[in-house]
Amino acid sequence: MSSTEIIEPAAIEVENLTVSYGSKPALLDVSLTIKKGLLVGVIGPNGAGKSTLIKAILGFVKRDVGVVRIQGIPAEKAKGLAAYVPQRGTVDWDFPVCVKEVAMMGRYGHIPWYRNPGKQDWKMVNEALEMVRMTEFSDRQIGQLSGGQQQRVFMARALAQSSEILLLDEPFAGVDAATERAILDVLDRARSSGRTLVVVHHDLTTAAEYFDRLILIKQRLFAYGKPEAVLDENLLSEVYEGRLRVFSNIKNTQKNSNSQAFS
């Protein structure tokens, strides 16, 4: 390696991360490094700390100990480098705001308080809505949308932030199969544009098909790597405390997706 060669920082670095809610530990000594340009799934049983992991990366919950860096910068100083898409159930969908206004919220961190959104801001909002295929719904109130459409609007808000890293909390929850494929298409397009995506996901049968890498956690990190390595029957049995009936489906999915695995 040349002495003048610049080593590009990882998208996300987590070192010895521990988070507790009161006396109850949610994450214990988690360390991992996510390279840029990957679509990463976070899997584990209910209460494993999946949502807590991405919230801790973003600084939404307090860390007991540990260090988080986003693109080589301490998370506390990395404002705007990562965007968040929350679970749909945490949003007030009756709020009187339309689709394009929700997407514009992603630009607020770039707009001084004393001026209105400019042409460039609206250009980025329109591009984000186009990426999630919601342009035709721009003027519709968000409560009038389907669950999948609502999810895509909040993905547009995150994309409008111009962040290189997106963290999504269960975007596939509660949507039908067609909508799930539409959301996956958005994730693929975002990755193809050079972004890094970290997605909390609950369906083991689609994990190998959807993601380049998987994070398997249950308070502590059990595995991080390619799906075929993480979706190991013995490992999953340990994490999920018993043999899962979906193991055969997982194996079939792995066979179909192995040829697509990233190096």
Reported confidence tier of residue 63, pLDDT bands at 50, 70, 90: very high
Q: What is the pTM of this model?
A: 0.85
pLDDT at 252 over 60: no
pLDDT at 90 over 80: no
Delimit the domains of the chain by residue range: 8-81+167-175+196-263
pLDDT at 258 over 80: no
Per-residue confidence (pLDDT) for residue 259, from 0 to 100: 41
| Structure-block tokens of residue 203 | 């369906």
Of 61, 53, 38, nearest to 221 by C-alpha is 53
Average pLDDT, rounded, for the chain:
87
Per-residue confidence (pLDDT) for residue 199, from 0 to 100: 97
Reported confidence tier of residue 254, pLDDT bands at 50, 70, 90: low
Q: What is the chain written as a DSSP string?
A: --TTPPPPPPSEEEEEEEEEETTEEEEEEEEEEE-TT-EEEEE-STTSSHHHHHHHHHTSS--SEEEEEETTEEGGG-TTSEEEE--GGGS-TTSS-BHHHHHHGGGGGGS-TTS---HHHHHHHHHHHHHTT-GGGTTSBGGGS-HHHHHHHHHHHHHHTT-SEEEEE-TTTT--HHHHHHHHHHHHHHHHTT-EEEEE---HHHHHHH-SEEEEEESEEEEEE-HHHHS-HHHHHHHTTS--TTHHHHHHHHHHHGGG---
Of 232, 83, 226, 98, nearest to 163 by C-alpha is 83
Dihedral in degrees, nearest 10, Cα atoms 76, 55, 203, 156? -70
pLDDT at 132 over 70: yes
pLDDT in tens, 153-208: 988 999 998 888 999 999 988 788 888 888 898 899 899 989 999 999 988 989 99
| Structure-block tokens of residue 35 | 């390279």
Within 8 A by CB and 6+ apart from 78, the residues are 69, 70, 71
Q: What is the mean pLDDT of residues 231-241?
A: 90
CATH no. of 8-81+167-175+196-263: 3.40.50.300
Reported confidence tier of residue 263, pLDDT bands at 50, 70, 90: very low
Reported confidence tier of residue 106, pLDDT bands at 50, 70, 90: confident
Tell me the β-bridge partners of 137.
none
